[in-house]
Amino acid sequence: MSTQAIYDVLRALTAAGLVRRIQPAGSVARYESRVGDNHHHVVCRSCGAIADVDCAVGEPPCLTPSDDRGYVIDEAEVVYWGRCPACTSSASI
């Protein structure tokens, strides 16, 4: 398959809700098959590692906006930024 064909398939899967596209600022897009459970991601600023975070504290959608502008919100997309354990320990040596 060509790269373009792969992207076309991924786009179709994303539109169908079968995969989720995640693209932290400054990173290439990634796709994951874990969808629909309102989980979030933690991203390492140093090496770009991404890990899943099951949920923010509280009930889904985890974050209640101070003003929802009348929208019915069912998902909050949260990206936590920081440094992964590997980068934290290598920096402290």
Which spans of this chain sit near Zn ion (rule: CB under 5 A)? Answer: 32, 34, 44, 46-47, 49, 52, 84, 87
- Around 67, how many Cα atoms within 13 Å sit in the side-chain half-sphere? 1
Whose Cβ is closer to Zn ion: residue 8's or residue 52's?
52
**CA 89 – CA 83 distance, rounded (Å):** 10
Whose Cβ is closer to Zn ion: residue 7's or residue 81's?
81
Cβ–Cβ contacts within 10 Å for residue 19, how many? 19
- 24 in Cβ contact with 50 (< 8 Å): yes
CB of 15 to Zn ion, least distance (A): 18
Whose Cβ is closer to Zn ion: residue 49's or residue 76's?
49
CB of 54 to Zn ion, least distance (A): 9
**CA 8 – CA 1 distance, rounded (Å):** 11
CB of 80 to Zn ion, least distance (A): 12
